[in-house]
Structure 1
């Protein structure tokens, strides 16, 4: 999984200590309601598209960039669905990171999904009632929040 240059620079100062980062994710839906998922190389689990915000990047633009980079498809952001904090994640190299995640509901516009980068080994559409058993728990929660149809974004109160 490629690490952005700005994070490499930060890691030179903080080592493996916990690092707080801003992230984005998307529940991408096809016209028939299926959900686009990626199988992550780092965990082996299925997950919604997600990534790190570059410094100064707008979240909605960042999530569209991540969708294109990871799956090769174009999408349209429909709405913000949730804002939450992930548990602390320890990567295989020992880096510890926690993310503020901004999740969006998006609609597939065009393109055939495929692993478009080295972060994912597979990309596939799944029916909401037939999600894979090895779906990351954070993705399951993001999908649940996005499919509620609530016009107000979820956040912990």
Structure 2
């Protein structure tokens, strides 16, 4: 695009009301879905994984944000809806952007809330077929997005610690 035309279009854009600028951006920018997912750790380090009825590989509790919902609230809500546990989020989340399916995931670590028994984890949603705890160094084959989220979270958690993340079994 010619630089003069580009500057003129930017000036016109600046003159638009905020709502109109947002509509323009949403019209020309790619759309992404945004979800939260949660790696729940037991005191011994085991991770809670779920097998969705419509997937072969293992994943973690999570799902799309509802309109106006904060990612942390969505993570807590999805865990409660899918496996029936109340949780406490730990540390900073990782953010994973997957451009091909146009998906953004906010990935959290969590532990079971005080007073809640981790053994109470069970499928509570029609989409969850199986719930199981796995030692982090002996994970089953993970869904593609779960494996990517696990690695991203390990990077956030281990930044500067020189720690190697566990083996992550996954296939596309």
Provide the TM-score with structure 1 as the length reference. Answer: 0.72
Secondary structure in structure 2 of the residue aligned to 1:47: coil
Is residue 80–residue 102 contact of structure 1 (8 Å, CA) maintained in 2? Answer: no
Distance 1:144 1:129 in 2: 13
1:80 corresponds to: 92
Distance 1:53 1:22 in 2: 6
2:110 corresponds to: 106
Is residue 64–residue 75 contact of structure 1 (8 Å, CA) maintained in 2? Answer: yes
C-alpha deviation, 1:74, in angstroms: 1.1
Structure 1, gaps ≥5 residues long: 1-17, 90-97, 153-157
C-alpha deviation, 1:120, in angstroms: 0.9
Higher relative contact order (CA 8 A, sep 6+): 1
C-alpha deviation, 1:80, in angstroms: 2.7
2:135 corresponds to: 127
1:140 corresponds to: 147
2:61 to 49, 57, 72: 49
Higher share in strand: 1
1:64 corresponds to: 76
Distance 1:85 1:141 in 2: 10
1:4 corresponds to: none
1:116 corresponds to: 124
Cα RMSD (Å) = 2.0
The aligned length equals: 126
Is residue 38–residue 49 contact of structure 1 (8 Å, CA) maintained in 2? Answer: yes
2:50 corresponds to: 38
Higher share in helix: 2
Distance 1:61 1:151 in 2: 25
Deviations 1:63-116 (A, max 9, x none): 000001011111101123311123545xxxxxxxx3211111111222411111
Structure 2, gaps ≥5 residues long: 1-29, 161-172
Secondary structure in structure 2 of the residue aligned to 1:129: coil
